[in-house]
Amino acid sequence: MSAERSNTKVYLGVFAALAFLTALTVWASYLDLGKGRNIALALAIAFFKVSLIAAFFMHLKSEKRAVHALFYGAALLALLLFLLVLPDLGLP
């Protein structure tokens, strides 16, 4: 019974974290930290939010290896595409 109640608690806790991080990222975007740093900060916050959603809402945390491999594999490949094309077309 207590495990079930703590489930709800976890979800609401993650909700609060996501709401906070959303507000944080909007607030931070109005600061001028230099283009590179703004981008890095926004991406870091987005990455953190993505991790929370995946780990807790999608229960990735408790999933088996095969599922982890699929998800991280895709993420890495997408990143590979981006990182290899960026030097060719992306940097002025």
Partner 1 sequence: MTAAVHREESFIGKWIFSRDHKVIGLQYMFTSLVFLLIGFSLILLIRWQLAYPGRPIPFIGDLLPDSLAPGGIMMPDFYNSLGAMHGTIMIFLGIVPLGVGAFGNYFLPLQIGAKDMAFPTLNMSSYWVYFVGGVLMLSSFVLPGGAARAGWTSYVPLSVISSGQTTWLLAMTFLITSSLLGAINFIVTTLNLRAPGLTWSRLPLFVWAQFVTGLILLFAFPVLQAGAVLQLLDRVAQTSFYMPQGLIISGELSQRGGGGNALLWQHLFWFLAHPEVYVLLLPPMGIVAEILANGTRKPIFGYKEVAGSFCFIAVLSFMVWAHHMFVSGLKTSLSYLFMTTTMTISIPSIAILTCYLLSLRNASIRYTVPMLFTLAFLPMFGIGGLTGLPLGFTPTDVYLHDTYYVIGHFHYVVVTGTLIALFGGIYYWFPKMFGRSMNMFWGKVHFWGTIVLMNLIFFPMFIQGLAGVQRRLYDPTVQLHNLTVQPTNVLMSYASWGLLLFQVPFIVNFFWSIFKGARSEENPWQATTLEWACPSPPLPHVNFEKVPTVHRGPYEYSVPGREADFWPQNEEN
Partner 2 sequence: MNDTRVLDTSTGIPNGKLGMWVFLASEVMLFGGFISSYVILRTGSPYFSIPPREMLGVPLATLNTFVLITSSVTMVLALDAVQKGSVKGLVRYLSATLFLAFCFLGIKAYEYHHKWLEGITLTSGLFGSFYYTLTALHALHVIGGIVFISYLLAMALKGRYDSREHARVEYAGLYWHFVDLVWVVLFPIFYLL
Displacement of CA 29 from its chain's centroid (Å): 17
Q: Does 92 sit near partner 1 (CB under 8 A)? A: no
CB-based burial, 45-68: b 16+ in 10 Å, e otherwise: beeebeebeeebeeeeeeeeeeee
Here's the x/- map for partner 1, 25-64, by CB under 8 A: it reads as ----------------------------------------
Q: Does 84 sit near partner 1 (CB under 8 A)? A: yes
Q: How far apart are CA 44 and CA 24, in angstroms?
A: 12
Contact residues for partner 2, defined by CB under 8 A: 4, 7-8, 11-12, 14-15, 18-19, 22-23, 25-26, 29, 38-39, 42-43, 45-46, 49-50, 53-54, 56-58, 63-64, 66-67, 70-71, 73-75, 77-79, 81-82, 85-86, 89-92
The vertex-43 CA angle with 41 and 45, nearest 5°, equals 70
Kindly tell me which residue out of 26, 31, 47, 73 binds partner 1, with binding defined by CB under 8 A. Answer: 73
